[in-house]
Amino acid sequence: MQDKLEKIKKEALDKLADIKKLNLLEALEKEYLGRKGQLTAILRNLSSMSDEDKKKIGKLSNEIKVELSEKFKEAKDIIIGSARGGNYVDVSIPGQKIKQGHIHPITQVMGDLEKLFSSMGFMVLDGPELESDHYNFTALNIPADHPARDMQDTFYIDTKNKNNEHDMVMRTHTSPVQVRAMQKYGAPIKCVVPGRVFRNEATDATHDTTFYQIEGLMVGEGISLANLKAVLQDVLNGIFQEEVGMRIRPGYFPFVEPGLEIDIACTICKGAKCPACKHTGWLEMLGSGMIHPEVLKYGGVDPEKYSGFAFGIGVTRLAMMKYKIDDIRLFNSGDLRFMEQF
Ligand code: FA5
């Protein structure tokens, strides 16, 4: 019986190899696998066989049946495909839905900021994330032994300069590009610098180790804090699409004089006090001030002739306020349950 089965299989496959027409293929399939087909007849006869044969012959018959079915299907696909010029598409197969992503909420806010600043004539510039100690600190009036270095602890890279000092850092802010921009373009200048920054610090609802800032710089003759306030108020109103409460406090940054910290009214609790605003109703959003004469000099700009303001907005914090997110760490979490809401 085993030989008979192998013979049926060989015969079917030999005949199949010569078939080029669909009606002949269907007839052949019927001859072997149809209700009255040769293979079906053997399977139907299994009940009259011994237990041992039932097992052996039944298994082999089924294997041959599966193999022949597959070969018939392949041959059918080929015949149908070539009948339609080889471009056969089975429109009855359900389509595969492609999952569509979207822009990250921080990128959305950053794009809005760039548009707003561009509309006011600011250039959009870029700077390196891996920055030299010189641009990140020294050129911003923070020499090596200055205690202000402790305000922004960072990640030092394991390379050393010729004085055997670690001199490359993951930048702690976008401010290094202030000096780079002045050196490249001189004064007058109006630019913003969006980018990612890094700090070695303990995280909480409003602090992360990796976050985004946008630096702003406006240097010219007769620039004052009044210009700074007007630009920032316009941009914040533009981002939130409403009048935003802004609070200006004195703040210390060695690269500006005077220095300011600017808070916005908490959009999450509307002043009712929540963890996102550390129960104060306000959230610190940016540092700013009039550029220190030493920094202008590092940038090759004459402080006797020019003055300018600079600011560094915490864009991740701004995104928190815009989308009413009460923990900053969610933005970098990669958690799709969070991301898919935007
Ligand atoms: C600075 O980074 C200064 N470079 C800003 C500046 C620019 C001052 C130009 C003067 C002139 P500060 O460390 O305060 O300052 O950070 C600026 C903003 O970044 C903060 O107001 C806050 O919105 C955001 N920020 C600071 N640290 C974190 C953090 N760990 N996680 C998330 N956002 C932060």
Domain membership of residue 91 (yes or no) is no
Q: Assess whether pLDDT exceeds 80 at residue 85.
A: no
Q: Is the domain of 69 the same as that of 128?
A: no
Q: Quick: pLDDT tens for 199-212.
A: 998 999 999 999 99
Is 286 touching ligand 1 by the criterion CB < 6 Å? yes
Q: Quick one: pLDDT at residue 238?
A: 96
* Cα 123 to ligand 1 centre (Å): 21
Threshold 0.85, pTM exceeds: no
Is 263 touching ligand 1 by the criterion CB < 6 Å? no
Q: Is the domain of 193 the same as that of 328?
A: yes
* Cα 305 to ligand 1 centre (Å): 29
Q: 310 pLDDT band (50/70/90 cuts)?
A: very high
Q: Is the domain of 277 the same as that of 240?
A: yes
pLDDT > 90: percent of the chain: 60
State how far the Cα of 319 lies from the Cα of 25, in Å rounded to an integer.
Answer: 65
Q: Quick one: pLDDT at residue 52?
A: 87
* Cα 69 to ligand 1 centre (Å): 69
Q: What single DSSP character describes residue 326?
A: S
Residue 34 burial class via C-beta count within 10 angstroms: exposed 0-12, middle 13-18, buried 19 and up: middle
Q: Which two tokens stand for residue 295?
A: 């920094």
State the chain's mean pLDDT as an integer: 91
State how far the Cα of 233 lies from the Cα of 230, in Å rounded to an integer.
Answer: 5
Q: 99 pLDDT band (50/70/90 cuts)?
A: confident
Q: Quick one: pLDDT at residue 192?
A: 98
SS3 at position 179? helix
Q: Quick one: pLDDT at residue 190?
A: 98
Is 149 touching ligand 1 by the criterion CB < 6 Å? no
Q: Quick one: pLDDT at residue 87?
A: 66
Domain membership of residue 88 (yes or no) is no
Q: 215 pLDDT band (50/70/90 cuts)?
A: very high
Report the pLDDT averaged over residues 284-292: 96
Domain membership of residue 89 (yes or no) is no
Lowest mean pLDDT among 113-117, 171-175, 280-284, 327-331: 280-284
Q: Quick one: pLDDT at residue 209?
A: 95
Is 208 touching ligand 1 by the criterion CB < 6 Å? yes
The closest residue, in CA terms, to atom 19 on ligand 1 is 314
* Cα 260 to ligand 1 centre (Å): 11
Q: Is the domain of 117 the same as that of 265?
A: yes
Torsional sign, CA 330, 332, 338, 342: positive
Q: In angstroms, what CA-CA distances link 285 with 123, 169, 214, 274? A: 22, 24, 11, 16
Whole domain around residue 43: which residue ranges? 2-83
Q: Report the CATH number at residue 136.
A: 3.30.930.10
Is 312 touching ligand 1 by the criterion CB < 6 Å? yes
Domain membership of residue 240 (yes or no) is yes
Q: 185 pLDDT band (50/70/90 cuts)?
A: very high
* Cα 256 to ligand 1 centre (Å): 14
The closest residue, in CA terms, to atom 29 on ligand 1 is 207
* Cα 252 to ligand 1 centre (Å): 12
Q: Quick: pLDDT tens for 139-172.
A: 999 998 888 888 888 888 888 878 887 789 999 9
- Is the model more confident about 86 or about 179? 179
Report the pLDDT averaged over residues 190-202: 96
Domain membership of residue 10 (yes or no) is yes
Q: Quick one: pLDDT at residue 194?
A: 98
Lowest mean pLDDT among 2-16, 141-155, 204-218, 249-263: 141-155
- Is the model more confident about 43 or about 246? 246
The closest residue, in CA terms, to atom 31 on ligand 1 is 207
Q: Is the domain of 131 the same as that of 255?
A: yes
Q: Assess whether pLDDT exceeds 80 at residue 56.
A: yes
Q: Is the domain of 147 the same as that of 207?
A: yes
Is 141 touching ligand 1 by the criterion CB < 6 Å? no
